[in-house]
Structure 1
Amino acid sequence: MSGMNVRRVYGSDGDKQCGPAPGKAFVDLVGGPLDGQLLDVTGWSGEQLTEGALLITDRGLYGAGGRALYSPIDADPTGPFLWLGDTP
C-alpha cells in the first residue's frame, strides 16, 4: 500500500489504517474527535444522510461511551459531515 493515501474508516478495528472499499459510499468527518476519518454511509436513506450521525467515541469530551454529533454541511448529504459537538 506504499504511496497510497490510506485513511481510517470509522468503526474499523482499533487504530488500524484502512482505506475505503470499492462499491461503498463514504463521507469525510471534519472537526472534533473523529476529524480526518471516513464514515461508511453505504445504504443510508436520504433522510439519514441529511440528519447526520451520532457516533460513539472515547476521544470526545465525555470519554468512553460518549458520542460526537456530525451533520452534513449545508444539508449536502454527499458530505463532508461537520462536527457539531459531543454528548454523553
Structure 2
Amino acid sequence: MDELMRGRVYGADHDDPDPGPRPGRVYRELVAGPLDGLLLDVTGWTERQLQESVALPTEIGAYGAGGHAQYAPRIGEPGRWDWRGDTP
C-alpha cells in the first residue's frame, strides 16, 4: 500500500496544496473510468460497505454535472476498485 501514499485523494479541492493521502487513513485506488488513479478514503467503512459498489459524484463522467462513476472492489485485489460505468 506504500505506492498509494503518492496519489491524489478523491474529493480533495483542486487548489489544495497537499491533495494526497493522510497518515492514519485507509484508501482504495480507483482504476479506469473518469476517476482513474484517484484514491478513495474508506476510513471507518464497514466490511459490508467495503464489499459493495459505490456511485461517486463526478462532473467528468459521461453524464457531466450531476453524474456518477460506479466503482466496485476488484476480486482478489480489494485495494483496487474497478470502474463499472457511469450513471446519471
Q: TM-score, normalised by structure 2?
A: 0.85
Name the CA distance, whole Å, in 1 between partners of 2:84 and 2:44.
23
* 41-50 or 13-22, which deviates more: 13-22
1:8–1:37 Cα contact (<8 Å) kept: yes
The number of residue pairs the alignment matches comes to 83
Runs of 4+ more than 4 Å apart: none
Identity of aligned residues (%): 53
| Larger strand proportion of the pair | 2
Q: Secondary structure at the match of 1:80?
A: strand
Name the CA distance, whole Å, in 1 between partners of 2:74 and 2:6.
24
How much does 1:7 deviate? 2.0
Name the CA distance, whole Å, in 2 between partners of 1:75 and 1:53.
18
RMSD after superposition: 1.7
Q: TM-score, normalised by structure 1?
A: 0.85
State the partner residue of 1:40.
Answer: 41
Provide structure 1 residue ranges, at least 5 long, that are not aligned to the other structure: none
Q: Secondary structure at the match of 1:82?
A: strand
Q: Secondary structure at the match of 1:49?
A: helix
Provide structure 2 residue ranges, at least 5 long, that are not aligned to the other structure: none
